[in-house]
């Protein structure tokens, strides 16, 4: 059974493994640890027992904007709904903190991720050139919570 819970310091090495496996230019361990201290309530892990299957990480900007900093699931556990659970719980927390929308960046070539976010209500609003480095562009995707039945 998969449980979504707040990350613990003991989870960080396993989260880092997921990060390295998932991204071409992974965040350094030190940055994940900094986010642990800065945004612990919005740093979530999907676990099965003690095994970390994936994570999501968000921050709130300007008191109303939820930013999905990162989300990743171990390769062998993808396409089982774990990413959806992680993102939905992060969005629930954004709403709890009265955010009016959520946004994220995604590699413009990552069709699977773009389709995943589209299915969950995110829309491409901008192409950010060179976001990940020279020639590595990102789409900025946004999901509004206004008019959303989960938003009060």
Tens-digit pLDDT profile for residues 96-120 = 999 999 999 999 999 999 999 999 9
User: What pTM did the predictor assign?
Assistant: 0.91
Residue 91 has a CB neighbour count (10 Å cut-off) of 24
**Which percentage of the chain shows pLDDT scores above 90?**
91
Q: Are 106 and 139 in contact (CB under 8 A)?
A: yes
Hey, where are the domains in the chain? 3-144
CATH class of 3-144: alpha beta
Tens-digit pLDDT profile for residues 141-152 = 999 998 765 444
Please give the Cα distance from 61 to 72 (Å, whole number). Answer: 21
């Amino acid at each position: 059974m998969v449980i979504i819970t707040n990350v613990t310091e003991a989870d960080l090495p396993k989260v880092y493994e997921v990060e390295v496996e998932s991204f071409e230019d992974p965040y350094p361990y030190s940055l994940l640890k900094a986010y642990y201290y800065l945004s612990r309530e919005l740093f979530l892990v999907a676990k099965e027992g003690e095994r970390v299957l994936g994570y999501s990480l968000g921050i709130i900007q300007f008191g109303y904007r939820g930013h999905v900093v990162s989300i990743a699931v171990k390769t062998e556990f993808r396409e089982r709904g774990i990413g959806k659970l992680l993102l939905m719980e992060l969005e629930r927390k954004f709403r709890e903190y009265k955010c009016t929308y959520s946004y994220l960046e995604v590699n413009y070539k990552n069709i699977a991720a773009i389709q995943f976010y589209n299915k969950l209500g995110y829309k491409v609003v901008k192409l950010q050139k060179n976001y990940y480095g020279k020639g590595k562009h990102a789409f900025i995707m946004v999901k509004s919570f206004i008019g959303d039945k989960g938003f009060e």
